[in-house]
Structure 1
Amino acid sequence: MTKIKHITALIEELSPLQYAEDFDNVGLLVGNSEQEVTGILVTLDCLESTVEEAIVNKCNLIVAFHPIIFKGLKKLNGKNYVERTVIKAIKNDISIYAMHTALDNSFEGVSAKMAEVLKLENKKILLPKKRILRKLTTYVPENAADEVRDALFKSGAGHIGNYSHCSFNMTGSGTYIGNQNSNPSLGEKGSLESVSENFISVIFEKHKEPQIIKSLITSHPYEEVAYDIVGLENKHNRIGMGIVGELSEEIQLNDFLNHLKKGFNTPIIRHSKDTGKAIRKVAVLGGSGSFAIESAIHSGADIYVTADLKYHDFYRAEGKVVLADIGHYESEQFTKNILVEYLTKKITNFAPALPEGRIILSKINTNPINYF
């Protein structure tokens, strides 16, 4: 029996909720995680029409990119589209899950799909995220150090960029006296013991902390395990907003803008003044991206593709970069495809599996903006 919590656990392997920005509202917004899943509808936005689509397709879980509940609800009177959507979902026993900036900050998320559409190479995170990494330090008897270290690696610790099994180790002396209620694995209770120990230090992404602590406690020979965890300010080079990459060859601005129009199926692109340079290095960020204009300039990008730029934002180009606003929906439209492909692949190898064809891509265009 596949429950909602099984599906959300798979989603959170792609976009852990800890990646989300502090202002955001992500996770299971409506429903019970213990509910059995009959089908999954994947959409960019969850609206009344989306809930109706889920009902027709016998899907009781909607996986949406944007959270329908963002600033919180004080009443449920059906007086606006948010309240009506939530009421309709509850009445029909449909759960709603949203990921938003948790997926924005994933290297395989929204901006990565934009980069894929544009066929960018040599991709890097535009705005690497801070405070994602933590450091664990523990102390292990020398004869058990290899076993504990390997357990930490298997649980996800010790990854730095393209390297795995990273740790720092020193040998020192640990002391302890066990009281009458103790059961020491080395030495006798009531006696001062001095043991040759290895100091082991590894880093890990904070969403992995529960599994790493569990592996440490399970593999460590001591009855009471000494360890400490500290948060790091280091940036994570594979977690963060936006992507910057390169085209296989440089092209002129007009040609690139036509490439954008075709790739993102948008009739209009608002852009700043042509800098006169050919386009080779491209920065992209799905959704509202004015906050990253200076980062795009600092990255050396020739053009920055994003959405929701205001009048005065275009002045910030300063002749150093071309700013291109392709529209909010247009920049994020492929997000639901990412999720359908990911879930289909994951659930194929997941037991108990959903019935075939029960992961459905929404056919509703939820873009609230129309062009004349």
Structure 2
Amino acid sequence: MKAYEIINYLENYFPLELQMDFDCCGLQIGNRNKEIKKVYIALNADNETLQACIEQDCQMLITHHPFLLEKIKNMDVNEHQGYFISLAMRHDIVVYSLHTCLDRGKNGISMNDWLVNQLGVHGIECYDHYEVGKKAILNQPMEGNTFIKKVKETFHLEHVKYSKNTNKTIEKIAICGGSAADDLEILADQVDCYITGDSKYRHAKYAIDHDCLLIDPGHHLEVIFEKELQKLLDNLPIDTQIHESKDYFNYE
């Protein structure tokens, strides 16, 4: 297949016009007319994933986080940005990213639809006007500490941080992968628990003050992108491989 055919297929699910104003989704580097036999799927567009793409004889790297989201200051090949660009161009790799257009999605296919459905819920709906975050009702309500364990088991997490108000029943939940802790202010009176990454000390205080359990599994929760996008691409006559990305942080 040509790269543009894969791109058109994906943009039927995740149109670029859905991306946020700050974002830079779509083609990052490369030739739309490149013949693609094998696609490499990774959460992040970085030198590690690009090198792996090349080593696995893939012609296209598809990521969630865009390479061009970070402002490019120069093309020095001794710096990480210049090195990434020169390596991609030298090996004729097409680099393409779906970020907030995939976070929004449509027809029940999006980052947070993928995440919330893993938890056994019904009544899924968007909680914000951007149509990114999701709220839903657990099929089986449970005590706070039990739900924390369920989140860890479901998403294969060794560590999460959470507010200390765990002594409550969790039935209504909300989730937003990535970094959306400020949404707690619009959710605290609507749900029993909110799950998102990159929370700060003040967010935990707010959660406790408003009796809403806050669970922070980290930004890396979005790694679900890799397997779910692979499922979508299974409909195309190409081979795919996922990176199985690890968190940028280590935890002890």
The answer (yes or no) to whether the contact 1:109–1:338 under 8 Å persists in 2 is no
1:295 to 186, 195, 204: 186
**Unpaired segments of 5 or more residues in structure 1?**
130-239, 348-352
1:335 to 208, 217, 225: 225
CA deviation profile, 1:78-123 (whole Å, cap 9, x unmatched): 3443332222111111011011111111241111111122112111
Aligned: 1:369 with 2:245:
no
Residue of structure 2 in register with 1:285 after alignment: 176
Residue of structure 2 in register with 1:47 after alignment: 46
Residue of structure 1 in register with 2:142 after alignment: 251
Q: Helix, strand or coil: the match of 1:333? A: helix
The answer (yes or no) to whether the contact 1:283–1:301 under 8 Å persists in 2 is yes
| 1:92 partner letter | H
Aligned: 1:98 with 2:131:
no
Structure 1 residue 274: deviation in Å? 1.1
The answer (yes or no) to whether the contact 2:39–2:59 under 8 Å persists in 1 is yes
Q: With the length of structure 1 as denominator, give the TM-score of the two structures.
A: 0.64
Structure 1 stretches of at least 4 aligned residues deviating more than 3 Å after TM superposition: none
How many residue pairs align between the two structures? 249
Residue of structure 1 in register with 2:197 after alignment: 307
Structure 1 residue 275: deviation in Å? 6.1
Which is higher, the Rg of structure 1 or of structure 2?
Answer: 1
Structure 1 residue 367: deviation in Å? 1.8
Correspondences of 1:148-163 after superposition (within 5 Å): none
For 1:37 and 1:127, the matched residues in 2 are separated by 37
CA deviation profile, 1:139-172 (whole Å, cap 9, x unmatched): xxxxxxxxxxxxxxxxxxxxxxxxxxxxxxxxxx
CA RMSD of aligned residues (A): 1.6
Q: Helix, strand or coil: the match of 1:286? A: strand
2:240 to 359, 366, 370: 359
Correspondences of 1:161-172 after superposition (within 5 Å): none
For 1:94 and 1:73, the matched residues in 2 are separated by 19
**Unpaired segments of 5 or more residues in structure 2?**
none
Q: With the length of structure 2 as denominator, give the TM-score of the two structures.
A: 0.93
The answer (yes or no) to whether the contact 1:37–1:60 under 8 Å persists in 2 is yes
For 1:335 and 1:89, the matched residues in 2 are separated by 22
| 1:303 partner letter | C
Structure 1 residue 74: deviation in Å? 3.0
Q: Helix, strand or coil: the match of 2:24? A: coil
Q: Percent identity?
A: 25
Residue of structure 2 in register with 1:122 after alignment: 123
Residue of structure 1 in register with 2:55 after alignment: 56
For 2:71 and 2:166, the matched residues in 1 are separated by 43
Structure 1 residue 247: deviation in Å? 0.9
Q: Helix, strand or coil: the match of 1:250? A: strand
